[in-house]
Amino acid sequence: MVDQLVMGSIFASVVGFMIIYAFFVMKNVRKVLPAGDGNSNGKPSSVTTNTICINGECTSADDADIIIVGAGVAGAALAHTLGKDGRRVLVIERDLTEPDRIVGELLQPGGYLKLMELGLEDCVEDIDAQRVFGYALFKDGKNTRLSYPLEKFHADVAGRSFHNGRFIQKMREKASLLPNVQLKQGTVSSLLEDNGTIKGVMYKNKNSEIMKAYAPLTIVCDGCFSNLRRSLCNPQVDVPSCFVGLILEKCELPYENHGHVVLADPSPILFYRISSTEIRCLVDVPGQKIPSISNGDLSNYLKTVVAPQIPVGMKDAFVATIDKGNIRTMANRSMPAVPHPTPGALLMGDAFNMRHPLTGGGMTVALSDIVVLRNLLMPLHDLHDSYTLCKYLESFYTLRKPVASTINTLAGALYKVFCASADEARQEMREACFDYLSLGGVFSNGPVSLLSGLNPRPLSLVVHFFAVAIFGVGRLLLPFPSPKRMWIGARLISGASGIIFPIIKAEGVRQMFFPATVPAYYRAPPTQ
């Protein structure tokens, strides 16, 4: 009898405990579920978070160590680089299908060296990429060839030209093969902020569900049309011109394996091979408006204004391409890097810094930035101290300057010099630039080393730029100076200063020429 009473008591205790435990669990499960959307039907909202609630206390679990917004050249290369270093990386890209762009198709030798440093050089293989060994300049029936100074490098080092989308897909594929890298298709709408610190992102996935993802560090690489940059910098976007893009077929370049720049009126025309059968043509149109495609104004402009200035062997293919009607346009943007250091977030790529695409330096800058950032993050095991990390990463903005500012300044200055002008002094500067580069030797090797990213020295850039101006003045004053020629020469020097000094000011004089005087230059990794 006593045994039965004892067994009954134990059974009742167990049942009571299970009822209390079930009540406790259900209470906490309701806290984990998303909140209602405010409707009377009590359905949960479509917002999914990774918030975990235990005993009434809610915390957020990280989806990754680093979130990368965008999987273009910068985002895909960065994902592979950080993933290879052992980071858990989540990449959110608006569209994972192959991009189709008319720029980002020429990688300078300096950029290829960075690609090799990141272990991504095989991404230019099996995409019909073409080697590029230099440039050819054309002006008023004259031409000159400028070769990259590659004598000191491995035989594989050269520029590469290709279809932008094929290159990006190769890098995405390589990044996705790493087990700790996730690529998700989704459109990021906003950064998640808490007391001034970025905690992650809100995005809409391909099923139109609103999602949230969290990480100690979010890197925004969503390109020139970034809708997130305003949260992290003070964008000052300039649109100096537009590109009209065509692809020429059944055509040969005057100098194979070279980029071609025609100093046309009113602005340059570019040609370079992007596959074994296709040549990309980019016609620069100054200003923010181009003739209408729909009513035929653009076709007429290309045939009547541009075609007569194209080298003879390419003219027929150019006109035939126009007649096919496959004409595309794109605004050229320029934006100096003016970041707001923000705990938990970083800007990179075209979302952060743009320059005129005339010199094809954008990918070189992006890949160089990735090398700098990788080296800064490598000694860090824990990224959760966002304020300390933000202070430490301020050095990124200084360490990137030698390469970035040289390429940015050269792109902006060359574009202005290469454009035709009614100003006689500007025309003299243009003539002087062509003739200076035609001299060969140090006169061409120096500027081409700067353009190619092989010698990213801002001081060397300024020296060569003003050497061109002085060369132009010397031509004016010899053999016999006249008051008019002296006046044009003075205006030439003044005009050259007016071109380059505003660009240098926007880049930051101290960071560009005296980076060692910036305190962040010496910033050591935080102790962990």
Task: Check residue 61 and give its pLDDT.
Answer: 63
Confirm if 295 and 281 have CB atoms less than 8 A apart.
no
E runs forming strands in 195-305: 197-205, 210-214, 217-220, 238-249, 259-262, 269-273, 278-286
What is the C-alpha separation between 80 and 75, in angstroms, rounded?
9
Q: Using CA atoms, how far apart are residues 62 and 262, in angstroms rounded to an integer?
A: 52
pLDDT at 528: 65
Q: Say how far residue 433 (Cα) sits from the centre of its chain.
A: 28
Please give the structure tokens belonging to residue 441: 């030797």
pLDDT for 183 equals 97
User: Residue 267 carries which DSSP code?
Assistant: S
Q: How far apart are CA 58 and CA 30, in angstroms?
A: 12
pLDDT 10s digits, 181-201: 999 999 999 999 999 999 999
pLDDT of the residue at 39:
38
Report d(CA 340, CA 335) in Å as an integer. 14
Taking phi over 0 as left and psi of -120 to 50 as alpha, with beta for the rest, 56 belongs to left
Q: What is the largest CA-CA distance in the chain?
A: 132
Q: Which residues of the chain have pLDDT under 70?
A: 1-61, 528
Contact 453, 361 (CB under 8 A): yes
Q: From CA 333, how far away is CA 241, in angstroms rounded?
A: 8
- Of 304, 265, 303, 261, give the one whose Cα is nearest residue 282: 261
Nearest CA-CA partner of 146 in 502, 435, 468: 435
